[in-house]
Amino acid sequence: MSWEEVGGNDLDKVVVFLKERIQSSMFFLSNLEAHGLGSSDAYGMRVWAQTGSTLGVFGISNSGFILLQAPDARAVDWAATAPMWRGRKLLGCSGDSRQVADFLEATGLAGCPMAFNPEEPGYVLALDQMLIPDCAGFEVVPIDDSLRLLATQWRAVYHGEVLGTPEAQRYAAAAEDIDGYIARGSHRILFKQGLPVAMTGFNAQAGDAVQIGAVFTPPETRGQGLARRAVALHLAEARERGVKQAILFAANEPAARAYEAIGFQRKGSMSMAMFHGEDAQ
């Protein structure tokens, strides 16, 4: 089975395929919805589809991030993607856990220096079923310039704790992330009686679904139920503008408990590899 680049005439078919597997396709769908094919934006993508009786798709953004959704791909199929990325500086790779592991092994990229989350449990929530905790005295506020420094400091800690970013690169990576959050209006700071105590956001949105990401509580305020309040208040805001479904992946057991407390149900798993600035060979 080979791969052929997707053109505009085939994009609708690809989108339908991805929506049927939305749990592990949100980054793919969000990028395509925002930029389509051929955009010069960092998140703009080129996409290839498998030929033959079963459909699978492979995408790479201009920034070098690889996205996978090919449930029936074999090692030989993953190896055949090499011409699409060989020689490029790769930022990372994300998708269903099994697919990511198989892709990295088949292509030899498993040997590259990286931070790798081998399997994060997935969760899904219909927003009309959300359980909102007591949020008296709490509010979520969009991150803006007045909150940039605090958000960047928190995000740098997240880079170290969750993403495994090398220490020398954490602050610059965090600053770039926060610039994007502010530009997109996608992330919020939770305030408790006027004091900032946690952060949350949407790292992808497609149609009436959002994917939650970058949830962070500083070490000194953990264990107080702040993450669940941050997520719930942000989702309540999104529900008011028509969002119907939320998806997320839990980085650890405390995070999983926080999401389950507001109604999230376990579904699937996802993996992400972040390469440490190495050119693919």
The mean pLDDT of 39-59, rounded to a whole number, is 89
Quote the CA–CA distance of 89 and 110 in Å, as a whole number: 15
pLDDT tens string 85-120: 998 889 999 999 999 999 999 999 998 888 887 788
Q: Per-residue pLDDT for 237 more than 80?
A: yes
Quote the CA–CA distance of 51 and 71 in Å, as a whole number: 14
Q: Per-residue pLDDT for 128 more than 70?
A: yes
pLDDT of residue 163: 83
Cβ-defined contacts of 169-176 (< 8 Å, 24+): 169/277
pLDDT of residue 281: 46
> What three-state secondary structure class fits 48?
strand
Question: How many of the other CB atoms lie within 10 Å of CB of 15?
Answer: 18
Mean pLDDT of the chain: 92
Instruction: Tell which residue, 147, 130, 155, has the closest CA to residue 229.
Output: 130
Instruction: Tell which residue, 28, 12, 127, 123, has the closest CA to residue 70.
Output: 28
The mean pLDDT of 19-24, rounded to a whole number, is 92
Quote the CA–CA distance of 61 and 89 in Å, as a whole number: 11
Q: Per-residue pLDDT for 53 more than 50?
A: yes
H helices of 36-96, where? Answer: 75-79, 82-85
pLDDT tens string 192-214: 999 999 999 999 999 999 999 99
Question: What pTM was estimated for this model as a whole?
Answer: 0.82
pLDDT tens string 155-182: 999 999 988 888 999 999 999 999 999 9
The mean pLDDT of 129-149, rounded to a whole number, is 97
